[in-house]
Amino acid sequence: MGLYQSCCVITLCFMFLLVKPQFSHSMSCTSQKFTKNKLFEHCNDLPHLNSYIHWSYNSKDSSLNLAFVATPTKPDGWIAWGINPIGTGMVGTQALVAFKQSNGTIVGKTFKLNSYNSIVPGELAYHVSNMEAMYSNGMMVIFASVNLPKGMRELNQVWQVGSSVLNGTFPGIHDFQPENLNSKGKLDLMKEKSVSNGPEDSMLNNRNIHGILNVVSWGILFPAGIMIARYLRTFVDPVWFYVHVACQLSSYTIGVAGWATGLKLGSQSKGIVYTSHRDFGIALFCFATLQVFALFLRPKKDHKYRFYWNMYHHGVGYGVLVLGIINVFKGLEILQPGSKWKLAHIIFLSILGGIALILEAITWTIVLKKKPGKSNNKLYDGQNGRQQPLTS
């Protein structure tokens, strides 16, 4: 499909598809891949029960993001991973459990193992969020984020698998083979070196670079360039024109670099697709390219087609502005860099919007003060030296 056809399809509609997470099975955690761009800094092949643990730990807020992978004893069985804050065995474990319900869906729930005879569903001693479970290629996966106590450097981990689910709501008893009884150990949160390096590290770096480039381009420079074109001409004509062009060309150049890193991420992440983010990105790139062409197609001020060029230039420009802001927020949702970054961008856009309102009021005040019929009721187009009404 050509560039023109792609732009038409994207501008007519955007397809918001929920991509079901999938998991690529392997005998080593280093080559296991998750969709939805779920990446972890570390992973271990656990010594028992054909199980694996992937995790990232942020010591600043003591948050642990993890994926536990295991093969249930039977397809309709269950898997569990937990933290024992009081010992190294099963009793006292705060567990995350995944199993297939009677309706066939995979669900993740939390259980407290107070004793061998007391397994209670409910909230754990640690706050658990973003928990989900899936089944693929004979294996179950538990994803979750756990808030740990401040200063924790290691934890006692316990994992288990079972073959039955009682009434589709409660995990049944597991086997008592040596593999089951020895499925415990310590997880070193601070010192364990990443065993998932190489391509994974490259992908993480590309994700961060992609996000930074696009935030700077479409989230900062492009909105600032539009404000320069609309308001600065009132005060520093014709300097505004050159500043505007420099700002928008810089935005486009950085945006192209962001587009390239996005393509690189796509080639590195087979099976991982963010449909809406990708489609918005394609539309954004198409419209931004059209906007750059406007610089070379710009007719003289007194040309009969100048009116239509203004409509084209302004319409496409505001379209890029809206698409850019939307896609930056979609990218932040995918990267999940921390709420403070999203908040910082919202504050920046709010400040920019506040400045725009102030400048809008000042600009209209100047326009309304000018008397009709006077030569000074028009402002100069800095590039052509001709007068034009104050427009956006």
Question: Does residue 244 have a known ligand-binding role?
Answer: yes
Provide CB contacts within 8 A for 144, sequence distance 6+: 65, 66, 96, 108, 128, 129, 130, 131, 132
Nearest residue to 83 via CA among 71, 66, 101, 105:
66
Within 10 angstroms of residue 62's Cβ, the number of other Cβ atoms is 16
Nearest residue to 154 via CA among 83, 66, 94, 103:
83
Question: Does residue 277 have a known ligand-binding role?
Answer: yes
Cβ atoms of 71 and 78 closer than 8 Å: no
Cβ atoms of 128 and 145 closer than 8 Å: yes
Cβ atoms of 224 and 352 closer than 8 Å: yes
Tokens 């420079």 locate to: 221
Strands 170-171 and 165-166: antiparallel
Angle at 385 between CA 380 and CA 388, to 5 degrees: 35
Dig out the tokens for 351 from the structure.
């400040």
Question: Does residue 42 have a known ligand-binding role?
Answer: no
User: For residue 42, what is the enclosing H or E element?
Assistant: strand 42-45
DSSP 81-149: EEE-SS-SSSTT-EEEEEEE-TTS-EEEEEEEEEETTEEEES--SSEEEEEEEEEETTEEEEEEEEEPP
Nearest residue to 167 via CA among 99, 121, 220:
99
Provide CB contacts within 8 A for 224, sequence distance 6+: 247, 352
Question: Does residue 54 have a known ligand-binding role?
Answer: no
Q: Helix 199-214 vs helix 306-335: angle between axes, to the nearest 10 degrees?
A: 140
Dig out the tokens for 78 from the structure.
């269950």
Residue set of the binding site: 210, 244, 277, 313
Residue set of the binding site for heme b: 210, 244, 277, 313
